Amino acid sequence: MAALQDRLSVLALYQRLHRLPGGKRLFTGIFQRIAPYFRTIPVRVDTVDVGEVVVSMRDTRRVRNHLGTVHAIALCNLAELAMGVAAEATLPKTHRWIPKGMTVQYLAKARGTMHATAILSLPEPLPDGDTLHVDIAVRDDRGEMVFHADIAIWVTRRSS
């Protein structure tokens, strides 16, 4: 993400693209090109704001398990993508982040389109060399929470 961030922040890019026809898909594709692993799940970044990101994932055969529900690891990937966009959109350019750990809870059978909301609150002052937590709630189309993740990220000041 550093190369993109030098040219244009994730938040600014989203704000430029999301109103265009197909802009959310284009933004998602750019993010997936920079972080290609996230091409493994059928996602779309729906909203990006400082401190909050919403991402959705379609329920397709490739993300289902043997029981016909959305696979646990697909939900983890969805949560990590939401966290990454939230971290990029929220942290100032003076800081960088890296995932440190993830705690998850599988709360209900995941069927249908999944909607992940990632929340990242920054403390004042922003730490250098400290852990922040990103809270991710994943809900189905009915609004039922099916999955929860807490992703710890290590935040440090960028060297000049």
Q: What is the pLDDT of residues 40-79, one digit of tens each?
A: 999 999 999 999 999 999 999 999 999 999 999 999 999 9
Buried b (16+ CB within 10 A) or exposed e, 44-77: ebbebeeebbbbbbebeeebeeeeebbbeebbbb
d(CA 20, CA 109): 35
Q: What is the pLDDT of residue 31?
A: 87
Output the pTM of the full model. Answer: 0.89
125 preceded by cis ω (within 30°)? Answer: yes
Q: What is the pLDDT of residue 160?
A: 63
Q: 4: pLDDT confidence band, cut at 50, 70 and 90?
A: very low
Domains and CATH numbers, the chain: 2-157 (3.10.129.10)
